[in-house]
Amino acid sequence: MDSEEIPTFSSPKEETAYWKELSLKYKQSFQEAREELAEFQEGSRELEAELEAQLVQAEQRNRDLQADNQRLKYEVETLKVGLVCNGIASPTDMSWMLF
């Protein structure tokens, strides 16, 4: 606060009232900011927990998909071998089955 902003007072009582009112304004502003910070922090904690849960689910889904992929690759290879062993196809005829 610049000294130019401070009004002139006609009495010490008037000056005391001015500073008291100003301090109450700052106190109220401080309390509001503190409440907003607490709300923000709570919201942040909730969001973090939600995102962590989503990450765990996504990681599990990824592992499941990788396992399915491996299982299906094995199944394709098994079918290829079966086709060759049964004489239905030759290894050179199976180029269409390559990934």
Domain extent listing, the chain: 13-86
CA distance 99 to 81: 16
Cα separation of 41 and 20, whole Å? 31
Pseudo-torsion of CA 54, 57, 61, 62, nearest 10°? 70
- Token output for 70: 């491996």
CB atoms closer than 10 angstroms to residue 83: 16
pTM over 0.75: no
* DSSP class of 7: P
Arithmetic mean of pLDDT over the chain: 89
Query: pLDDT by residue (tens digit) across 32-77?
Result: 999 999 999 999 999 999 999 999 999 999 999 999 999 999 999 8
For residue 94, the model assigns a pLDDT of 59
